[in-house]
Structure 1
Amino acid sequence: MAEVTIGALGLGREPLAPFACDFRRSRGRLVPEPESPTRTAFQRDRDRIVHSSAFRRLKHKTQVFIAYEGDHYRTRLTHTIEVSQIARAFARALRLDEDLTEAIALVHDFGHTPFGHAGERALERCMDGAGGFDHNAQSLRIVTALERRYAAFDGLNLAFETLEGLVKHNGPLAGPHADPAHGLPRPIADFDALFPLGLDRFASLEAQAAAISDDIAYNTHDLDDGLRAGLIGIEDLEALDLAGSILREVRARYPGLDASRTIHEIMRRHITAMVEDVIATSGAAIAASGVRSIEDVRDAGRTLIDVSPAMREAIAQTRRFLFANVYRAPRVMAVMGQAEQVVEDLFAVYVSNPQKMGAGWRDDAPAMDGLRLKRRVADYLSGMTDTYALAEHRRLFDVSPELR
């Protein structure tokens, strides 16, 4: 039988741009492994991410609305798939590596807690003085240590480029281009000392494409979910430059269209408008920058995958609208307040009595010092789904909220 190779299968697709990540020049993995004869390094990473336990748990983790609210709202899993679809469109248009882009998009939310940002706020308070909690750093912990599937290593042993994209998709974490408002999370600093990720440089265009796809997805779909939840009405969109103009366009073209189809038309055109803006803006920025290699991208001194100034203001306006009318709506805030209490209650119980944690987490916990024990509890709690966290709370406490 003839040997099957990556080249024979045509897995490289059309030629990549010179500034894209080339799997043949990957910086490798923390634990060296033989190359696959049928998959590129980035395809292999994507497959490991999809088959991980952390990926499966995303289906029962809150995006904005908890599972009890209804079956049609986004979860972390559906959001992640939507981000991945948008990111691949950018990679295809700009001739980037689609598999690396997809891998980064699929892994970007691994570190999120149960109950979305409410759970993260609670864990941040619980871990104050104990190294803190950051969902991006937690994603790195999951893929480098906490996933226990392979005989030869802990984590998923992802390629440098995937880890770099996971950690730096929102920009450098050290040096002059880092956001001064955010310090370097301890888990990222510790791993960087072992396997340097170039924290002072920008990430690949593949990572930048995944990051902006996240913004596009949640700006659009949180509007959609807010409408479905009845927190906002279609008429409220009139006040928004982007969604309002699309609403008027849809009504002019389809007078008398029912509300459900009107909402869908608005949302799909909302995404399309932002995607087309990013492709045009980013293509021009890449050309003007003169980057000719991935190293040029890392040293470009700025993000190259971006929206136009006009679109940036429209997105900021949408975000302000969502905060005022959806994220901070009394109904949502009341439920999220209860969710924060659930996480804080569980944290306190597990720290005071580690034996109440699940098998595999409690075995050596009693011998740990205070800081290590708190990190163990944070790892355990952050990996929980909404449903499991509530079940644990009901098991350990006489009274538990319904979160409705």
Structure 2
Amino acid sequence: MTLREETQRREAEFLSPYACPSAASRGRQRSEEECPIRTPFQRDIDRIVYSKAFRRLKHKTQVFLLPEGDHYRTRMTHTLEVARIARTIARALALNEDLTEAIALGHDLGHTPFGHAGERVLNQLMPGGFAHFRQSVRVVERLEKNGQGLNLTWEVRNGILCHTKGPAAATLEGQVVRLADHIAYINHDIQDALRGGILYPMDIPLQASEVLGFTHRARIDTLVRDAVEASTGQPEIRQSPPVAQAMLALKDFMFQSVYTNPAAKGEEGKAQDMLQALFEYFQKHPDELPDDFQSIRAEESVDRAVCDYIAGMTDPFAVEQFTRRFIPAGWSMK
């Protein structure tokens, strides 16, 4: 018996009947020989972590554009926090932690530069629209490894696709990631907004705090404990009504006070104008797209290739590309 088979034997013995054991995976788009050590979901974790798209997350906006300071979240730190919250819930419910972690680590691979501001402008410019959760699937299926994709399992790709809206994921592990994503971003965005002087502690709705807690730590602890208690023995991931209502109130508060606050979002218009200018430039000059995107241009469309290229940019790389093409370079006499 290989180490992988021993792990799968233990999964069958200890996982919840509602969990997705790796031996029951629907498989990959392209069949592969099994690893003697790692389960399919463990291999997916490694493929995501070693991908270029994952590394770029460290230079992509979470909420605050190009923040000055070392402690604001980026898309990378958000992803890691989601993974930790999701694994804690999955472990408590005897779900498959490896599948949960793979979905969590891959859920935002398709996010644009400048966060949701970038997503909105690409949605306007790209024929057929744009959504980061669909782009995340496209990254792992088409864009990584020089167009070969990462060849992830069906369950991981389904969890990535369903992590934000629309139908629930087919696995409880995917449903855990959707909830963990909301728990993470609402609470760390509050913490970053407090650090940035956008919010003050007394601004947070009292009714939500009385249910969830008055600190970052207390809120996450309440939300995680509640998800475990409400979902134990259930075929779906749930929250108790009081906690769900308090979390929704906190989310509404954040949209009103932070996500649309000019003090926090005043620069987003500039970022969107910049991405639009780049999109239109590469539409007119597709030969300047990198070689990796020329096959997409030929097989799909120029717009698709341009959208994929811009969506994959980090914040500083987008600024550099704009500067190179639209800002006159200095000239010095020697």
Q: TM-score, normalised by structure 1?
A: 0.76
Conserved 8 A contact 1:143-1:157: yes
1:278-289 aligned at under 5 Å gives the runs 278-283=227-232, 286=234
1:3-402 aligned at under 5 Å gives the runs 4-8=2-6, 12=10, 15-127=14-126, 130-148=127-145, 154-170=148-164, 178=167, 202-237=169-204, 239-242=206-209, 246-247=213-214, 266-283=215-232, 286=234, 291=235, 304-362=236-294, 365=297, 372-398=301-327
Alpha-carbon deviation of 1:362? 4.5
- Aligned equivalents of 1:393 and 1:41: distance in 2? 41
Report which stretch shifted further, 18-27 or 340-349. Answer: 18-27
Identify the residue that residue 294 of structure 1 maps to in structure 2: none
- Aligned equivalents of 1:327 and 1:337: distance in 2? 13
- Aligned equivalents of 2:163 and 2:255: distance in 1? 23
Q: Map Cα deviations across residues 335-379 of structure 1 (whole Å, 9 max, x no partner).
A: 1111111111100000011123234335784x67xx711011000
Identify the residue that residue 332 of structure 2 maps to in structure 1: none
Conserved 8 A contact 1:11-1:39: no
- Aligned equivalents of 2:250 and 2:316: distance in 1? 30
Alpha-carbon deviation of 1:7? 4.3
Aligned length: 328
Q: In the superposition, relative to structure 1, how do residues 374 and 93 fare at CA in structure 2: closer, same or farther (>3 Å)?
A: same
- Aligned equivalents of 1:147 and 1:245: distance in 2? 40
- Aligned equivalents of 1:243 and 1:380: distance in 2? 45
Alpha-carbon deviation of 1:71? 1.8
Conserved 8 A contact 1:53-1:147: yes
Conserved 8 A contact 1:54-1:110: yes
Q: In the superposition, relative to structure 1, how do residues 243 and 338 fare at CA in structure 2: closer, same or farther (>3 Å)?
A: farther
Alpha-carbon deviation of 1:19? 1.4
- Aligned equivalents of 2:206 and 2:18: distance in 1? 40
- Aligned equivalents of 2:320 and 2:231: distance in 1? 46
The letter of the residue matching 1:164 is N
| Structure 2: 5+ residue stretches without partners | 330-334
- Aligned equivalents of 2:248 and 2:89: distance in 1? 21
The letter of the residue matching 1:226 is A
The letter of the residue matching 1:352 is K
RMSD over equivalenced CA pairs, Å: 2.3
The letter of the residue matching 2:184 is A
Q: Map Cα deviations across residues 379-400 of structure 1 (whole Å, 9 max, x no partner).
A: 0000000010000010011279
Q: In the superposition, relative to structure 1, how do residues 245 and 271 fare at CA in structure 2: closer, same or farther (>3 Å)?
A: closer
The letter of the residue matching 1:346 is L
Conserved 8 A contact 1:142-1:155: yes
- Aligned equivalents of 2:210 and 2:302: distance in 1? 47
- SS for the counterpart of 1:39 is coil
The letter of the residue matching 1:324 is Q
- Aligned equivalents of 1:64 and 1:31: distance in 2? 37
Conserved 8 A contact 1:237-1:244: no
- Aligned equivalents of 2:120 and 2:51: distance in 1? 25
Alpha-carbon deviation of 1:233? 0.9
Q: In the superposition, relative to structure 1, how do residues 9 and 281 fare at CA in structure 2: closer, same or farther (>3 Å)?
A: closer
- SS for the counterpart of 1:332 is helix
- SS for the counterpart of 1:32 is coil
Alpha-carbon deviation of 1:9? 6.6
- Aligned equivalents of 2:277 and 2:211: distance in 1? 43
The letter of the residue matching 1:137 is R
Conserved 8 A contact 2:211-2:242: no
- Aligned equivalents of 1:48 and 1:364: distance in 2? 22
Q: Map Cα deviations across residues 3-59 of structure 1 (whole Å, 9 max, x no partner).
A: 852245789467101111011121111110001100001000111011111100100
Q: TM-score, normalised by structure 2?
A: 0.91
Q: In the superposition, relative to structure 1, how do residues 323 and 44 fare at CA in structure 2: closer, same or farther (>3 Å)?
A: same
